[in-house]
């Protein structure tokens, strides 16, 4: 059977529409579940306070709900405790109008109500405006991970925003928390405030990290720049996840010819929000001031040969095995090109997970002592 181009075009559009509706349906179900959990958590807290019920009633409530709704999950005593803690964690700072959210028809985020007195001073303005609709779009399993692993509200809201923006899975969320993304974000040593205009300088700073986590299997600590670069090139999607949203991959060992000399850039990206090229140079050694000269040359060459009139100035990012912050700051003084300097941490996730299952030397020694004492 011959299929016309019109049919193929319509089928492509139909598939996209169905996928979008599947996502919307999933988000709607998740939101209703969280709204139910929010009301349940509120009721549990208020009933315990009003009737002086101890925690023992949660076991009874769990049994009653499982008996009445056997087809539904989430009624275990453990999860009821989580629901109560989840409500207590966020209700002490915000009054979330669940009825308003449940009736919300648009997808525009609704700002949370004004925080109570005593809100942590480090809560950023961006996180204070985390929408109610956004808050209830974070899957329940993600909320549990964030509650368990984040020590303050600002960190928790950072990972909520990132989960929504990047559509993280649970495993990706756990990995980003374990790698301390919140603490690493925007921490590179740069000269952006001097070399870039506002607000581009602020945005450029925000897209940096320090250190960058290079997650490599079959790891050797003493890896050459070529080995690291080859690995990143073969796992570019993973490296793009570490770099963050907005990075578009242009290539590795990008050839530039200046007069009669040939030069090769380690990694070249284009950032769609900053509207500029980003030159990434990898150094498997500790930072040295002379590294800046090489990167500055590459940035200038890209500006001259690749940058168009509509592009913003090219940015250079140097990622070294280690660095001295003061030396890096001194080295960037009087450098005209916008450049950032970060360190890297080579990490083998598989090995770390394997090591976590092994007893420590202290635990082995203690076990041997107990064995000797029991003889």
At 243-254, the pLDDT tens digits run 888 999 999 899
What are phi and psi for residue 52, nearest 5 degrees?
A: 60, 35
Other CB atoms within 10 A of residue 176 CB? 21
Closest C-alpha to 266, from 278, 277, 251, 281: 281
Do 219 and 346 contact (CB within 8 A), yes or no? yes
Distance, CA of 297 to CA of 75 (rounded, Å): 62
pLDDT, position 222 = 58
How far is the CA of 228 from the CAs of 208, 286, 288, 339, in angstroms?
19, 15, 19, 21
Tokens 């803690």 correspond to: 85
pLDDT, position 245 = 85
Do 319 and 343 contact (CB within 8 A), yes or no? yes
pLDDT, position 108 = 38
Give the model confidence (pLDDT) of 13-70 as tens digits.
777 777 777 666 776 788 889 989 999 999 999 988 888 888 888 999 999 999 999 9
Residue 161: its H or E element: helix 153-166
Q: Return the structure tokens found at 164.
A: 């929504």
Tokens 């000399």 correspond to: 261
Mean pLDDT of each 10-residue bin along the chain, 375 residues long: 70 76 73 90 90 86 92 93 92 54 36 33 44 80 94 88 87 90 94 95 94 68 65 72 88 92 94 95 92 96 96 96 94 96 76 47 58 59
Q: Return the structure tokens found at 263.
A: 């030069």
Do 192 and 186 contact (CB within 8 A), yes or no? no
What are phi and psi for residue 28, nearest 5 degrees?
A: -65, -45
How far is the CA of 34 from the CAs of 130, 158, 241, in angstroms?
16, 19, 28
Per-domain boundaries in the chain? 20-178, 184-354
Other CB atoms within 10 A of residue 162 CB? 20
Instruction: Tell me the angle at which helices 140-149 and 77-91 cross, rounded to the nearest 10 degrees.
Output: 70
Alpha-carbon torsion angle 195, 196, 197, 203, nearest 10: -140
Q: Domain 184-354, what fold?
A: Trna Endonuclease; Chain: A, domain 1 (3.40.1350)
Closest C-alpha to 288, from 317, 320, 263, 240: 320
């Amino acid at each position: 059977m011959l299929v016309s181009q019109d049919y193929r075009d319509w089928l492509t559009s139909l598939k996209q529409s169905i996928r979008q509706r599947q996502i919307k349906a999933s988000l709607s179900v998740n939101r209703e579940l969280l709204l139910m959990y929010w009301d349940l958590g509120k009721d549990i807290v208020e009933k315990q306070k009003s009737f002086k019920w101890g925690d023992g009633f949660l076991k009874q409530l769990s049994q009653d709900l499982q008996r009445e709704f056997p087809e539904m999950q989430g009624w275990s005593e453990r999860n009821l405790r989580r629901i109560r803690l989840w409500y207590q964690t966020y209700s002490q700072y915000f009054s979330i109008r669940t009825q308003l959210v449940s009736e919300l028809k648009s997808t525009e985020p609704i700002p949370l109500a004004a925080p109570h007195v005593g809100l942590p001073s480090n809560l950023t303005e961006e996180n204070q405006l985390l929408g109610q609709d956004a808050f209830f779009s974070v899957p329940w399993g993600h909320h549990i991970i964030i509650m368990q692993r984040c020590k303050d509200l600002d960190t928790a809201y950072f990972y909520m925003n990132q989960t929504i923006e990047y559509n993280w899975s649970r495993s990706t969320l756990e990995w980003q928390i374990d790698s301390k993304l919140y603490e690493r974000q925007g921490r590179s040593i740069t000269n952006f405030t001097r070399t870039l205009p506002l607000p581009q300088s602020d945005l450029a700073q925000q897209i940096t990290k320090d250190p960058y986590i290079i997650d490599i299997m079959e790891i050797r600590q003493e890896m050459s720049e070529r080995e690291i670069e080859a690995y990143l090139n073969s796992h570019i999607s993973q490296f793009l996840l570490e770099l963050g949203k907005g990075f578009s991959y242009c290539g590795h060992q990008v050839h530039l010819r200046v007069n009669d000399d040939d030069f090769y850039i380690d990694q070249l990206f284009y950032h769609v929000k900053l509207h500029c090229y980003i030159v990434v140079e990898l150094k498997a050694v500790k930072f040295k001031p002379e590294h800046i000269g090489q990167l500055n040359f590459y940035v200038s060459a890209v500006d001259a040969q690749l940058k168009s009139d509509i592009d913003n100035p090219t940015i250079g990012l140097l990622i070294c095995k280690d660095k001295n912050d003061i030396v890096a700051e001194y080295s960037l003084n009087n450098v005209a090109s916008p450049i950032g300097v970060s360190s890297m941490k080579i990490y083998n996730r598989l090995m770390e997970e394997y090591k976590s299952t092994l007893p420590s030397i202290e635990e082995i020694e203690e076990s041997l002592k107990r064995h000797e004492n029991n003889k």
